[in-house]
Amino acid sequence: MCPANSERLNPEHAQALRDLGLSPEFYGAYAVAVVVVTIVVFTLVSALIVWRKSEDRMALLAAFTLLLFGTSAVTSDIPAALARAHPVFWFPTHLFDYLGQVAFGIFFYLFPSGRFVPRWTKWLAVSVALFYVANIFFPHSALDLLNGPVFIGYVLSLGVVQLYRYRKTSTPIEQQQTKWVVFGVAVGLAGFSAVLTLHRLVPQFQGTGPLSQMIGSTLVYGLILLIPLSIGMAILRSGLYEIDLIINRTLVYSTLTVILAGVYIGGVIGLQSLFRALTGSESQIAIVASTLAIAVLFNPLRGRVQGFIDHRFYRKKYDARKTLETLGSQLRNETDLDALSGHLISAVRQTMQPAHVSLWLLKKNEEKR
């Protein structure tokens, strides 16, 4: 797993750096510093887990996974360069890479309880360990099957297992731990994949110079750091707070960003085509009009997206909020005490779903003394 590949500096890129007031030495030092910071964060989180949770076997597995995954699998450029320069290190570096990749999969099959649930997942773990032997030690050979559909199936199995455990066997605390880990890993890997995809598939992002390489490398490794931070937060559980709000806002604003980006790009392309058809030339009015459309649409669209996300993914909370809003309206318009009592009991029953609801009213003694 190689997050970023810094291009070698050619004379043109070196000159571009000098124009920015940067030296080639700074470029090289920065590329190394980003990797070193990533290794340090993985290592520190691992050490903190061992220090605080040394009696917990699941915590020790998490620490072991972060240490190997962060120092060899994620930052594989450095071990690979070491192995090329000194062949004697070929086997140790590949062994650590193998252990880091396998430990990452086993961690997800066991987290958060430390048991294989369902039990057949232990055979998935064994299969993954066997697949990685060929993938790490004999890459691109006929034995290397961990690519394409097989790798996608492996990644999906990790998510399916976590979803099953969350719904069927996890305690409330374990569910909170699962939310933190799945959210951090999903956002980190999704962002990592998006940056690499843009770099490899979009021509405008290829060969754009050393500055873009530095920015891309920073983004990639910054996203990868969400993995140790989320796992550390979940394992330590110190200050573990409700993550639903973070997930909700992420869903809302990521969806909103995609929609508005589509509207903006579609508006610019459509209006430019219209101007070319009418006047034979392009116009900056298309960009201005698309920008104004984005500004006008932002708040109404955000409300609609928020409502859709709440309705689709947070149904219970959405229904509870609607029930309370309805109760508030009824309390403002209703004057009959018996009717108000019925509305209140109905709202409590719908939102909290208790086994039994009763309402006691204390009547004041209105006798004058």
Q: What is the mean pLDDT of residues 189-203?
A: 70
Residues 127 and 275 in one domain: no
337/104: higher pLDDT: 104
Q: What is the mean pLDDT of residues 136-159?
A: 86
For residue 312, is it within any domain? no
Residues 84 and 154 in one domain: yes
Q: What is the pLDDT at residue 5?
A: 47
> Tokens 């649930």 map to which residue?
117
**Contact call for residues 107 and 64 (beta carbons, < 8 A):** no
In this structure, the number of other CB atoms found within 10 A of the CB of residue 29 comes to: 12
Q: Distance (Å, rounded) from C-alpha 145 to C-alpha 152?
A: 12
Q: What is the pLDDT at residue 348?
A: 58
In this structure, the number of other CB atoms found within 10 A of the CB of residue 95 comes to: 14
**Contact call for residues 269 and 262 (beta carbons, < 8 A):** no
And the tokens for 354?
A: 């208790």
H or E element at residue 81: helix 77-85
Residues 324 and 281 in one domain: no
Mean pLDDT is lowest, of 54-63, 271-280, 341-350, for 341-350
For residue 249, is it within any domain? no
253/137: higher pLDDT: 137
28/224: higher pLDDT: 224
For 46-97, the pLDDT digits (tens) are 999 999 888 888 989 999 999 988 887 666 667 777 777 888 888 888 888 8
Residues 168 and 222 in one domain: yes
For residue 358, is it within any domain? no
Q: Give the domain CATH number at 111.
A: 1.20.1070
Q: What is the pLDDT at residue 335?
A: 59
From 220, 241, 262, the end of a domain falls on 241
Q: What is the pLDDT at residue 64?
A: 92
Residues 322 and 277 in one domain: no
Helix, coil or strand: residue 181: helix
Range 157-165 contact pairs with CB under 8 angstroms and sequence separation of 24 or more:
157/121, 157/124, 158/105, 158/108, 158/109, 161/108, 161/109, 161/117, 161/118, 161/121, 161/124, 162/108, 162/111, 164/117, 164/118, 165/112, 165/113, 165/117
Residues 64 and 181 in one domain: yes
For 7-46, the pLDDT digits (tens) are 566 677 777 777 777 777 888 788 888 888 999 999 999 9
Residues 27 and 147 in one domain: yes
- Rounded to the nearest 10°, the torsion over CA 7, 9, 13, 16 is 110
Q: What is the pLDDT at residue 345?
A: 61
Highest mean pLDDT among 125-134, 190-199, 204-213, 294-303: 125-134
**Contact call for residues 53 and 47 (beta carbons, < 8 A):** no
Q: Distance (Å, rounded) from C-alpha 125 to C-alpha 119?
A: 11
Mean pLDDT is lowest, of 52-56, 209-213, 265-269, 329-333, for 329-333
For residue 246, is it within any domain? no
The yes-or-no verdict on residue 259 having pLDDT over 70 is yes
Q: What band does 369 get if pLDDT is binned at 50, 70 and 90? A: very low
Q: What is the longest distance spanned by two Cα atoms in the chain?
A: 101
Residues 329 and 208 in one domain: no
Q: Distance (Å, rounded) from C-alpha 232 to C-alpha 235?
A: 5
Average pLDDT of the chain is 77
The share of the chain scoring above pLDDT 70, in percent, equals: 72
Contacts of 6 (CB under 8 A, 6+ apart): 31, 213, 217
For residue 139, is it within any domain? yes
By CB neighbour count within 10 A (0-12 exposed, 13-18 middle, 19+ buried), where does 211 fall?
Answer: middle
For residue 361, is it within any domain? no
For residue 165, is it within any domain? yes
Amino acid (one-letter) located at 43: T
Q: What is the mean pLDDT of residues 215-238?
A: 84
From 213, 241, 269, the end of a domain falls on 241
For residue 304, is it within any domain? no
Mean pLDDT is lowest, of 96-110, 207-221, 264-278, 329-343, for 329-343
And the tokens for 163?
A: 């979803």
CA 233 to chain centre: 14
Residues 202 and 345 in one domain: no
Q: What is the pLDDT at residue 241?
A: 52
Q: Distance (Å, rounded) from C-alpha 228 to C-alpha 162?
A: 18
Its domain, for residue 217, covers 11-241
Domain count, the chain: 3
Residues 287 and 326 in one domain: no
Residues 153 and 205 in one domain: yes
The share of the chain scoring above pLDDT 90, in percent, equals: 14
Residues 216 and 274 in one domain: no
